[in-house]
Amino acid sequence: MSTVPDTPPRSPKAEQTRQSIIDAAMRLFRTNGYEKATMRAIADEAGVSIGNAYYYFSSKEHLIQAYYDRINAEHAEAAAAALAGTTTFSERLGAVLLAWVDVAEPYHEFAGKFFKTAAEPTSPLSPFSSESEATRLAAIDLHREVIDGSDLKLAKALRAELPELLWLAQMGVVLFWVHDTSDGQQRTRLLVRQAVPLIDRALRLTRLPGVRGLVDDVVGLVRTIKPKP
């Protein structure tokens, strides 16, 4: 769930300091927003020196990662709860996506700033970066669970790639969400509610004679394009 710490914890004391810095950062991000929460202010709030904050987190961006992890952890929990008792694919996918919108809602205000940072390919916060691999794989696994616990019948090849594709779709939802200025991000919820049944129908169509070959080729393309061999 949690990504690899910047520096491996050595003593309990050190781990405690590490946590207090994260807590301070969380508090200030929430109350003051991203820009106002300077490294000096965070270090101050945590009762340590600036240099010490940098001893544990090699950059401000790395500090934000803790924030990301928290959202992801909350989502994993909320999604698990929402998945319990649902069996249809539509219900399950919708539950997971809407759970994310719910969990992320309090963070929407600064989400733009976070997004900006995460968008840069070299940033450790990028959803495609190696630093966030653990988080990414966990999220993909969640979608695998969505599929496995459902009634969906698919060709083996597609079934194998689908979790990653659904995760990509989720990233699309996030992109839409970040730009969504509607009250309570209603438009994003509308998008999810309407798109999910369509995805369901589309997936069930993949077994159609004329469509099948195309799907195989799409899967082949995905495999060609995916991360380095």
Partner DNA sequence: ACCAGGAGTTGAACACGTTCAAGAAGGAGC
Partner DNA sequence: GCTCCTTCTTGAACGTGTTCAACTCCTGGT
Binding site for DNA (CB under 7 A): 7, 9-11, 13-14, 17, 35-41, 48-52, 54-55, 58-61
Taking the complex as a whole, how short is the minimal distance between the CB of residue 109 and DNA, in angstroms?
Answer: 16
Find where tokens 């405690």 sit.
16
Contacted entry of a second copy, DNA, none for residue 10, CB cut-off 5 to 8 Å set by kind? DNA
Report how far residue 12's alpha carbon sits from residue 179's, in angstroms, rounded to the nearest whole number.
Answer: 42
The two structure tokens encoding residue 222: 């995905």
Pick from 106, 24, 11: nearest CA to 57:
24
Taking the complex as a whole, how short is the minimal distance between the CB of residue 14 and DNA, in angstroms?
Answer: 3
Choice from 39, 44, 115, 147 touching a second copy (CB under 8 A)? 115
The residue type of 145 is: E
Report how far residue 143's alpha carbon sits from residue 139's, in angstroms, rounded to the nearest whole number.
Answer: 7
Given a contact cutoff of 8 angstroms between Cβ atoms, the answer to whether 178 and 105 are in contact is: no
Site string for a second copy, 193-212 (x = CB under 8 A): -xx--x--xx--x--x-xx-
Q: Based on CB atoms, which residue is closest to a second copy, 35 or 85?
A: 35
- Work out whether 224 is an interface residue with a second copy (CB under 8 A): yes
Q: Based on CB atoms, which residue is closest to a second copy, 147 or 218?
A: 218
Report how far residue 39's alpha carbon sits from residue 48's, in angstroms, rounded to the nearest whole number.
Answer: 11
Q: Based on CB atoms, which residue is closest to a second copy, 11 or 224?
A: 224
Q: Which stretch binds a second copy (CB under 8 A): 3-11, 42-50, 96-104, 121-129?
A: 121-129
- Work out whether 1 is an interface residue with a second copy (CB under 8 A): no
Pick from 100, 121, 67, 89: nearest CA to 174:
100
Taking the complex as a whole, how short is the minimal distance between the CB of residue 123 and DNA, in angstroms?
Answer: 10
Report how far residue 195's alpha carbon sits from residue 203's, in angstroms, rounded to the nearest whole number.
Answer: 12
Report how far residue 191's alpha carbon sits from residue 204's, in angstroms, rounded to the nearest whole number.
Answer: 20
Q: Based on CB atoms, which residue is closest to DNA, 51 or 85?
A: 51
Query: 3-state SS of the chain: helix, strand, coil percent to 5?
Result: 75, 0, 25
Site for a second copy, rule CB under 8 A:
112-113, 115-123, 126, 128, 176, 178-179, 181, 187, 190-191, 194-195, 198, 201-202, 205, 208, 210-211, 214, 217-218, 221, 224-225
